[in-house]
Amino acid sequence: MAETPNPIQVQKFLGGLDYPVGREDLVSKAKESGADENVLSALENLPDRQYDSPTAVSSAISGS
């Protein structure tokens, strides 16, 4: 399994998003920003719900 990307790495691909956002919006924004497969995989595997902040996304990716 791929290594979990660090939150700073993920957030650099999500800059400019207006929260709250769903998983599909996170993945779309990351793809537009040129995210690598590791980041895209982490975002695609998040629960399909609304994320109200960058911190919520980071917490969901890290599993905390």
Does 44 reside within a domain?
yes
Does 55 reside within a domain?
yes
Asked if residue 1 has pLDDT above 60, the reply is no
| 5, burial (CB in 10 Å: exposed 0-12, middle 13-18, buried 19+) | buried
Does 30 reside within a domain?
yes
Domain hosting residue 26, numbered range: 13-62
Does 36 reside within a domain?
yes
- Phi and psi based region of residue 63 (left: phi greater than 0; alpha: psi -120 to 50; beta: remaining): left
Does 3 reside within a domain?
no
Domain count, the chain: 1
Whole-structure pTM value: 0.91
pLDDT digits (tens, 9 = 90+) for 21-61: 999 999 999 999 999 999 999 999 999 999 999 999 999 99
Does 31 reside within a domain?
yes
In Å, how far from its chain's centre is CA 14?
Answer: 7
Does 39 reside within a domain?
yes
Q: What is the pLDDT of residue 63?
A: 84
DSSP structure string for 2-26: PPPPPHHHHHHTTTTPPSSEEHHHH
Write out the two tokens for 29: 């924004």
